[in-house]
Structure 1
Amino acid sequence: MRLFKRVSVFILCFSLAIFIYSCSDSSTDPGDPSQEEFNSKAGTGESAEHFLQSDTYSNIEIELDYMEGYKPTEGAIDSLESFLNNRLNKNSITINTSKIPARGDGPYSTEMITTIEEDERDNYTEASGSTLHAYIVVVDGELSDNPNVLGIAYWNTSMALFGETIDNISSSDPTSPSEQQVENTVLRHEVGHNMGLVGNGTPTQSDHKTEDSAHCTNDECLMAPSVQTGDIFQNISGDVPSLDEACIQDLKANGGK
């Protein structure tokens, strides 16, 4: 009887040991970062550190899809690359452009734009990779909620520009800003939101965030709310608005330049 009990206890302990070992050695252990998927549908600014720092993703690749007739100027694309090189700690920064069919479905809601992304986007970030993938789409219409809006950042690596609205602002009269100036400004502004500005993923180092939005209180800053609708072009001429010192200090504190 005693022998039976000893054998039973041994078998129980051995089985328990195997169970514990199996659990701790599981390849799907939720504590293993290499097994976690990168969420490309998180909120704007939630991947700010991944944009700014090189610890996890040392490279960034942007897929820029434009609907036929709304290709951004080469100057605007070069300007965005220069802006990113000045602010992100990355080994390489690549912007790939591709034409997609015009849909003529505008005005576009955010939901419609996310559907376009799901249809057209080719590359997504892999948790085990070294490249952060971002997506920009230029559509052939306006935003349904507000026809004056030039662009939006709607997911943590996703942005959209409204080609029709950009055309309207850049060609309304002889004193209007050029198409390249508008595109330069909007591209930088929307990427700025996914870099966590202002106070939305990248903590502010000083009091310069507007009360009702993730924008800068400095009316001349790239992240001012007036950039979103193009109103800033009524107060500036020539150069693209720059990030002010407060925004730059925020980025540096969060791992950027």
Structure 2
Amino acid sequence: MRIFKILVLCLLTLTTSNCSKDSVGESDKIDRSANLMASGDSANDILSNNQHTDLLIQIAYVEGFQPTQKAIDDFVEFIKERTYKEKIDLIYKQLPSPEVDSLDINKIDDLETENRTAYNDGKTLALYIFFADAPAKSKETKDKDLVTLGAVYRNTSMVIYESSIRELTKKSIFINNATVEAATLNHEFCHWLGLVDLGTKPLSPHEDAERTNHCNVSGCLMQSELEFGQGMMKMLSAKNSSIPVLGEKCLADLKSNGGR
């Protein structure tokens, strides 16, 4: 899921205005501007080695909601397959629960401002992923099968609704947490990579007319269904619990923007 670029400007204002006067020190010297841009704006930087050769991924998670190691391993392998990054490091940060029933984008942004420590530094590009213990706040439906599983809301910021993933997989004896986590991570990561038409220009038309920034090719990782519980389970079931892969049109787009 992507958040409209106009919202990023609001978040940038929010982030800078919330700096504490008591936090004068080394942290205030960090240049965060490169990590506060719109979703997809760093697509080429992530895909290629033109500006950054290394990746640092900070995984923040609420206590008790850490992602499975299998999902993280699969995610890192996916990054290696699609980008030219020479080194990928991960750091973990356990967080207390925000103790809310649901999370909107403003609350998620506040939590990132408080807890993120990894930012771009020289040849290293930093990414931040938050695994939440509360579902996404939504006005669309109360049906648990249609809850959002993940979202990117800036060029290097992502949230995974881990509690929603766990509730979803409880209903299946064939599909486990690791598979849904990895599929969600890969899907949202590709929004960071600019898919579809979110910073990476399509070589041919394949954007879903009803769900912008998603692919209309059947079975592709970037179909919009993968963002929601019901669609995720249907696609995984159709693929015998295998994680969906990118279709040829999405792959061609990434290669044209510096990817593998």
TM-score by length of structure 2 reads 0.81
SS in 2 for 1:39: helix
Q: Distance in 2 between matches of 1:60 and 1:205?
A: 27
Q: Distance in 2 between matches of 1:38 and 1:56?
A: 15
* Equivalent residue, structure 2, for 1:27: none
Contact 2:56-2:118 at 8 Å conserved across structures: no
SS in 1 for 2:152: strand
Q: Distance in 1 between matches of 2:84 and 2:46?
A: 8
Q: Distance in 1 between matches of 2:172 and 2:74?
A: 24
Contact 2:180-2:232 at 8 Å conserved across structures: no
Contact 1:106-1:143 at 8 Å conserved across structures: no
Aligned residue pairs total 219
Q: Distance in 2 between matches of 1:41 and 1:70?
A: 26
Q: Distance in 1 between matches of 2:179 and 2:32?
A: 37
Q: Distance in 1 between matches of 2:232 and 2:65?
A: 22
**TM-superposed deviation, 1:163:** 1.4
**TM-superposed deviation, 1:221:** 0.9
SS in 1 for 2:34: coil
* Equivalent residue, structure 1, for 2:247: 244
Candidates 192, 195, 209, aligned match of 2:193: 195
Contact 2:54-2:125 at 8 Å conserved across structures: yes
Contact 1:219-1:226 at 8 Å conserved across structures: no
**TM-superposed deviation, 1:233:** 2.0
Question: What per-residue deviation string (whole Å, max 9, x for no partner) do you get for residues 136-190 of structure 1?
Answer: 0001010002660000000000000011110111112435x21011001001111
* Equivalent residue, structure 1, for 2:232: 232
SS in 2 for 1:214: coil
2:80 is the counterpart of 1:85:
yes
**TM-superposed deviation, 1:38:** 4.0
Percent identical across equivalent pairs? 30
SS in 2 for 1:234: helix
Structure 1 stretches lacking a partner, 5+ long: 1-35
Structure 2 stretches lacking a partner, 5+ long: 1-30
Contact 1:38-1:125 at 8 Å conserved across structures: no
Report matched runs for 1:51-200 at 5 Å: 51-126=46-121, 129-145=122-138, 148-175=147-174, 177-200=175-198
Q: Distance in 1 between matches of 2:199 and 2:104?
A: 24
Worse-matched range after superposition: 231-240 or 221-230: 231-240
Worse-matched range after superposition: 164-173 or 75-84: 164-173
Could you list the structure 1 runs, at least 4 aligned residues long, displaced by more than 4 angstroms after superposition.
none
**TM-superposed deviation, 1:113:** 0.3
Instruction: Give the residue type in structure 1 aligned to 2:179.
Output: Q
* Equivalent residue, structure 2, for 1:219: 218
Instruction: Give the residue type in structure 2 aligned to 1:140.
Output: D
- Of structures 1 and 2, the one with the larger relative CO (CA 8 A, separation 6+) is 2
**TM-superposed deviation, 1:232:** 3.1
Q: Distance in 1 between matches of 2:34 and 2:54?
A: 17
Contact 1:106-1:140 at 8 Å conserved across structures: no
Contact 1:81-1:95 at 8 Å conserved across structures: no
**TM-superposed deviation, 1:37:** 7.0
SS in 2 for 1:61: strand
* Equivalent residue, structure 2, for 1:15: none
Contact 1:220-1:232 at 8 Å conserved across structures: no
Contact 2:32-2:119 at 8 Å conserved across structures: no
